[in-house]
Chains A and B, each alone.
Chain A
């Protein structure tokens, strides 16, 4: 008996960092705020309150869909997904069912494998639940600050075949939304969440079997993604060996990842008769794009350089290696910083790339300071303990404020130290060594 295929599909939720919530004017940024201070009748679901959709959130969802190569259907609508849970104030979630904003996209992995993306749709986040014991009684506490924050759901086809692929897919998605500037996509803070659906194809003799699908929840850190999936693969195989239960309608399970115990545990046996009774949201008129509007969205997305395009350009334009470009294009800030340094170039592209990649420079330098830093390092060829001590003594004496500033972490101070070093032609030490010697 052996596993012949691991089948993984990912549902990823990303909170958009719009100024206001999805359907009301409350602030969308809810991290570390006093509970229930960012609510209004709409996101509290008070009787009579009505939703009005946030234009920016819709535009960003479309941009994300387009950047994943998806189609933008001319007609979209919001639907109500009806179910009861204390974190869902209206007893339904405004989501999209029949006509999402984008369909049929894909994301390419480094091994050139295309992961198909079924749909990208927009919905509202739920409130936050805390589970505590108050006066000896187990209770759940509800904070509605998160209720109604725009949430994009990206649903892949089950095209991923290993935990490594799943992790890479997630990293690429995270990088993409950060490039677009539409979300912090921080798993630890909950602004990015993933729910893998996993099952196995198992071969025995000339027969093949599929294990029941398991949806994994509670994975709230990038570090856990691989561990949780790998554990689940192992568990499903062992369970099949023992019980020989095959995938069937209605036997999908929901399991949670327990980081402390490093296991997945059963949350919901079978898909309970969960009939969401979707129907078109009568409070929000449908959305219909004209050809011009769709063209305009496509024009907008063409003004962004997406991570994979930038990476290819860095290879072509600067002759860097895959390894180097991967790091330099990891986020837009690093890539922009690198290119600004190159623009001021006096020391060479490769040198700049290496200093940034190996983090050889102190943190917080501006591009010209970094160039200065590299030039200074280059002009030094040898050092001696004595030379360094002498220099530090001199600097301490002549410019105590600069050293103090550096100790307090002011980036300008380092620039000044470099300047002073450069002025002193007699000194032939590396800046790195000077820094190490500054008494802290």
Chain B
């Protein structure tokens, strides 16, 4: 068993350690061994902590010995945090992000920092200042993004779970591309303190894991009000989830832009849930086609302001070092906030954002949750979309809605295409009702075993 410890789920590992089936040093060694085997092929990590010495974890807690990977846009004290951008190549923070601290306070141990699109601007991890991460299922394909390294590291069993961040799909889409489970929590459920801001009214840190169960364990620890984040809120008490749910399938999520193979796999998944006693109904989210415009006005606007602190004085190098996509988004957002264009772009988009949110709230009057694909396509090729920003932006069409509305979303593996590329299922539920996603997600993973498949590396 010892040489496969890295393949354990978080739950199995924590229980195994508690029952002393193996030591944390053995677990650590097995993970490091795996990292050494596969990093050359996929490049999930930009920084690995203490690669040499097997770690015997002393700190007690319910996550004792849980070795996890952290997306590089989360501030980690005394561990280099570059946001995968050259501008922060040597930045070593003096403070810890709240979500990271909550995990380590419970005995979890950081194994390393994962690669992402620089500052999380992107959907492929190709915009990293340090080179692209490759999809463990097919190394000519992207792992998705921006949390591509976090998803690939979990898929390749280089950690037990990881933290990602989701601004417009950055947890769900890479989880889908790498066939792992990822949760984008309700906005405000998890503290953003220490998350290197991309778009402040969109960003959500969240877990990527091997199972729904693992994501729930992590979420239960990182959620809750943080005095240091004024937009975080007290998480309400868990409600009992009904046994038979009404699942809405938005017709806009199964439209022309979505590839047939993706549609078929997701529809099959819906039918599996129908067999379990849930009811499927078609719904409409009429403003879906506007969501991308709203998103790509509001997000770059906030970005242009959030990126202004990178002036090379207190940390980092100067603004010349920004990657092209970073510059492009800063320019776009600067333009849409200019006083002459503010009403036409920013204000208009903020209003349409309310319409998009209303779409979801109206839908939840009729259904308990919404089901659809995560991405309109399976993982695309490295280099395929990099020179066409608009086309790259359009690939976020099914995920940005949840961020515009602030609702939670879960991505779970639901099958493979004919050429063995993963496809993910997206579940969305009302604000602060993550328990619905976990319940139905767990049920799905009890029936299916897509999440148990391992890539050959």
Contacts and interface: CB of A to CB of B under 8 A. Distances in A.
Interface stretch (A83-91, A245-253, A380-388): A83-91
Contacts, number: 103
20 contacts: A46-B309, A48-B75, A48-B194, A48-B195, A50-B231, A52-B227, A53-B230, A86-B313, A90-B308, A91-B310, A91-B311, A92-B305, A92-B308, A144-B314, A275-B339, A279-B305, A279-B342, A282-B201, A284-B230, A284-B231
A91 B309 contact: yes
A136 interface: no
A41 B95 contact: yes
B228 to A, nearest CB: 6
A80 B230 CA distance: 16
A47 B315 contact: yes
Contacts of A99: none
A279 B337 contact: yes
A89 B314 contact: yes
Given A47-B75, A285-B231, A277 B93 contact: no
A191 B454 CA distance: 64
A182 to B, nearest CB: 23
Interface string A74-111: 00000010101010011110000000000000000000
Nearest to A47: B196
B267 interface: no
Contact of B231 (A44, A82, A283): A283
Task: Determine the interface band of chain B, counting residues with CB < 8 A from chain A.
Answer: 35 or more
B314 A50 contact: no
Contacts of B95: 41, 46, 49
B392 to A, nearest CB: 24
Contacts of B346: 279
Given A52-B230, A283-B200, A89 B309 contact: yes
B301 A46 contact: no
A95 B283 CA distance: 43
Given A84-B311, A279-B305, 20 more contacts: A41-B94, A41-B95, A47-B83, A47-B88, A47-B196, A47-B197, A48-B97, A48-B192, A48-B193, A48-B194, A50-B228, A52-B230, A86-B311, A89-B313, A142-B313, A277-B334, A277-B342, A279-B346, A283-B231, A285-B230
Interface in B98-140: none
B365 to A, nearest CB: 26
Determine chain A's interface SS by DSSP, over half rule: loop
Interface string B329-342: 00000100111001
A86 B312 CA distance: 10
Contacts of A49: 95, 193-194
A291 to B, nearest CB: 24
Given A86-B313, A279-B346, A50 B305 contact: no
A93 to B, nearest CB: 11
Interface of B: 73-75, 81, 83, 88, 91, 93-95, 97, 192-197, 199-201, 227-231, 301-302, 304-305, 307-311, 313-315, 334, 337-339, 342, 346
A142 B308 CA distance: 17
Nearest to B201: A282
Nearest to A90: B309
Contacts of A278: 339
Given A48-B196, A52-B230, A277-B334, A91 B305 contact: yes
A46 B337 contact: no
Nearest to A53: B230
A51 interface: yes
Contacts of A150: none
Contacts of A50: 192-193, 228-231
A285 B229 CA distance: 10
A45 interface: yes
Interface string A140-158: 0010100000000000000
A190 B96 CA distance: 35
B314 A46 contact: yes
A47 B91 contact: yes
Interface string A49-64: 1111100000000000
